[in-house]
Amino acid sequence: MDVSVVIVSYNTCELTCNCLFAVIEKTHGVNYEIIVVDNASSDGSVAMIQETFPQVRLVAEQNNWGFGKANNIGAEYAKGDYLFLLNSDTILVNNAIKILHDYIKSNLKAGICGGQLVDVKGNNINSHGPFPSVFREVSVALFPAAWLNYKSIDYSTAQPVNRFISGADMMINRQFFNQLKGFDTDFFMYSEDVDLSLRCKCAGYLTCFVPEAKIIHLVNQSSNDEIPSEVQYINKWSYSEERYSRFVLLKKLYGPCFTGLIYLIYYFKGEIAAAFFFLSGNKQKRIYWKKYSDIHKTQYQRYLRNL
């Protein structure tokens, strides 16, 4: 078996269905299996997979384990030489699995590789990103506007990139994945791809970007908006979870003192801005910034409880 495609689903019945159809339609010239780990979905995902895709290995969990742990579970069932970890909110545009398999198999120092993610209009979106650094974390916290127009590096050919590969599509040798002990399950969702890419780098292997492999990513559609939205994006559950995971990552990389510093920057920035807009009478922006600081406080307290 060449490749085991591992897909984690959680209440993404239609998305998962479209993802599976695309994998089956677009993939040829490589021997593969598909494993879906369902995190206790309540939207009929399990029945849909059983009825529509009997060839798929379905692992129906009774709990929502999050992204990393569910992928680790899927890897335990895998028989392929390589794992292809694929988001349920993706659609293969071309024979991406074979393209990535052929690249990683022929480049022995490639630890992880990923393809070019695009939106529904075919525009390139983030497929990789810079590794964290103290300077970057502080500067983003203090001066986020300086990074708004930051353009991701555009690689036109397959190559090592010294950047983390998006967890939406990761090709990795199964034995190497096991050697790294898979994803760190301290991350429920978000930042686990950064952490795994860093551990790949520390083990002496390369993270590689293969733009010839193209995959549509319907960003954030596999996350639930569990918080009512008065101010749209910061009220999303996905943003809150991303903040928590970032604290976990920073503690792992730089320790609790630096993590606390970053939290204080975000929290007091939100409080100061909320106070300013209260005095200026701008209710909408006051609500926005108050929610901003509250989310950071809540997720930092959660992080402290789980230390």
Give the pLDDT confidence of 105-162 residue by residue, as tens digits: 999 899 999 999 999 999 998 899 999 999 999 999 988 766 655 556 778 899 999 9
Arithmetic mean of pLDDT, 197-217: 97
The pLDDT-based confidence of 236 (bands split at 50, 70, 90) is low
Does position 224 have pLDDT exceeding 90, yes or no?
no
Q: What residue has token string 């590969």?
A: 165
**Per-residue pLDDT at 152:** 63
Does position 190 have pLDDT exceeding 80, yes or no?
yes
What is the tens place of the pLDDT at every residue in 156-186?
Answer: 899 999 999 999 999 999 999 999 999 999 9
Token reading at 297? 């406080």
Alpha helices in 149-191 (DSSP H): 174-179
Q: What is the rounded CA–CA span in Å between residue 35 and residue 77?
A: 8
Alpha helices in 38-142 (DSSP H): 45-52, 67-77, 96-106, 134-142
Residue % of the chain over a pLDDT of 70 = 92
**Per-residue pLDDT at 94:** 97
**Per-residue pLDDT at 301:** 97
At 185, which amino acid appears?
Answer: T
**Per-residue pLDDT at 262:** 97
**Per-residue pLDDT at 228:** 33
79-107 exposure pattern, b = at least 16 Cβ within 10 A, e = fewer: ebbbbbbbbbbbbbbebbbbbbbbbbbeb
Residue % of the chain over a pLDDT of 90 = 84
**Per-residue pLDDT at 199:** 97
**Per-residue pLDDT at 98:** 98
Q: What is the rounded CA–CA span in Å between residue 273 and residue 289?
A: 6
What is the tens place of the pLDDT at every residue in 40-63?
Answer: 999 999 999 999 999 999 999 999
Q: What residue has token string 């509250």?
A: 294
Helix, strand, or coil here: 162?
Answer: coil
The pLDDT-based confidence of 230 (bands split at 50, 70, 90) is very low
The mean of the pLDDT values for the chain is 91
The pLDDT-based confidence of 219 (bands split at 50, 70, 90) is confident
Q: Whole-model pTM?
A: 0.90
Q: What is the rounded CA–CA span in Å between residue 116 and residue 19?
A: 16
**Per-residue pLDDT at 176:** 97
What is the tens place of the pLDDT at every residue in 86-103?
Answer: 999 999 999 999 999 999
Alpha helices in 143-236 (DSSP H): 145-148, 174-179, 192-202
The pLDDT-based confidence of 237 (bands split at 50, 70, 90) is low
Do 39 and 67 form a contact (C-beta atoms < 8 A)?
Answer: no
- CA pseudo-torsion sign 69, 15, 163, 173: positive
**Per-residue pLDDT at 225:** 41
Does position 285 have pLDDT exceeding 80, yes or no?
yes
Arithmetic mean of pLDDT, 23-32: 98
Helix (H) or strand (E) holding 252: helix 237-254
